[in-house]
Chain A
Amino acid sequence: MSVVVVYLLLLKATVTSFAGMGSLPQVRQDFVDTHHLVTADELSEAVLIGRATPGPMGAYVVAVGYQAAGVRGAIAGWLALITPAFLALPLLVTVQRWLHLPRVRSLVDAVVIAGATMLVPAAALLAFDGATQLLRLLR
């Protein structure tokens, strides 16, 4: 499989998700089910490595790229990981330009409030996972 195709498949997954692990369903569909580039076990291993490693959760795509196409696949995975981040720049410039308008300010405020609200269950899940793992180790 061409490394360009690996990059495009991973990019398709990262650019259509809005959270680190949000790309996982698309990666599973493309890499495991459709193109058989990695096995389900290899994908689980990649996710596990991603979770056990500090840094962005979505960086597990680097391991997926490596499993699919070796070192060049890992580079493709890294590029697919960072490419969508640059979409933030036109968004930032646009928002900054119109931020003085009350409606735009209200919109941004609402996004911040809703985003912060969703952090609470995310923290609860993290704490639950951490506590569960810790209890399992102590038993």
Chain B
Amino acid sequence: MNTTTVPETEPFIETVGLKTHFRTPRGIARAVDGVTIQIRRGQSLGVVGESGSGKTVLSRSIMGLLPRNGVIREGSVRYRGEEIGNRTPKEMRSVWGREMAMIFQDPMTSLNPVMKVGKQVTESLRLHLGMNAAEASEVAEKIFRDVRIPEPSRRLNQYPHELSGGMRQRVMIAIAMACGPNMLFADEPTTALDVTVQAQILELLSEQIHDRNMSMLLVTHNLGVVAGYTDEIAVMYGGKVVERAPTKVLFDNVKMPYTEALLQSIPRLNQPSHSRLAMIPGRPPDLVNPPGGCRFAPRCAYARDLCRNEEPPLTIAETPDHTFACHFPVGSPEYLERKVEISRRAGSTGGDN
């Protein structure tokens, strides 16, 4: 890795037309089908989508963690200006842990059940930073304190099953942060946790990111999670990015009907009780035989013939740094027309914004 400092405005990590296809018995599954994103130094990007949208595969593709066989890759991935998309796992090993780290959804299965948690942290320290056992132990304890694990020296000698879910996730964060990486991939980090703990963990992540000037790619299916904790949001559907904007802009000025539907499906505290939760009908598209045209069209309440025939191009919105892919976005005349029809048919339900 070259050590020239990259100016703040240049993308720290970016993908151009990244495609990850898997060979399956049924055919080729196009999990990630042409994704172009950039993340700047110290910036965090939330990638949101339902299961099957390709968001997890995206994060693993960027990091290079795919299985060895049956995978077809196209497009480029650049880290600090250098192409890493075509590197072998062996070559990537010097990057993993040291410059890039990943945390997973379920800390119970992601931590080695028969190894003390302290050792799981010191392992990286000794390998990448060349520390000896004593030094590594000290540093590990300090990191445990940073991630707010109470009684850190005692915890170092415990096994994962002796810790609570929230603490296990903190351990995973500690492992990720151990060598001071520049880039963190967080794959549904709070999904397996209690609601009360989720906010704590997100706060912790946010703090760490800012303190260390790290970039983060946060993958989740829950828009509520990214709302307060990411700088930008990219919405994925069927292997493609269908909308991208800075967080506030997205919430204020959503363009793509799918994103709008996602926003609406978040239960809100100020809804009258017993409101029916708005769901998006239908199921995610088949990745082996995706529908022609816009992939969301079969489930979109506002879809027209054009949507089913032609894939919508990436359009730049009037709000800054905002792109989306839709023929008839939110607010357009065709959209409003359809919306009136829907309201008339359904009547109003309590809780409509």
Question: Do these two chains interact?
Answer: no
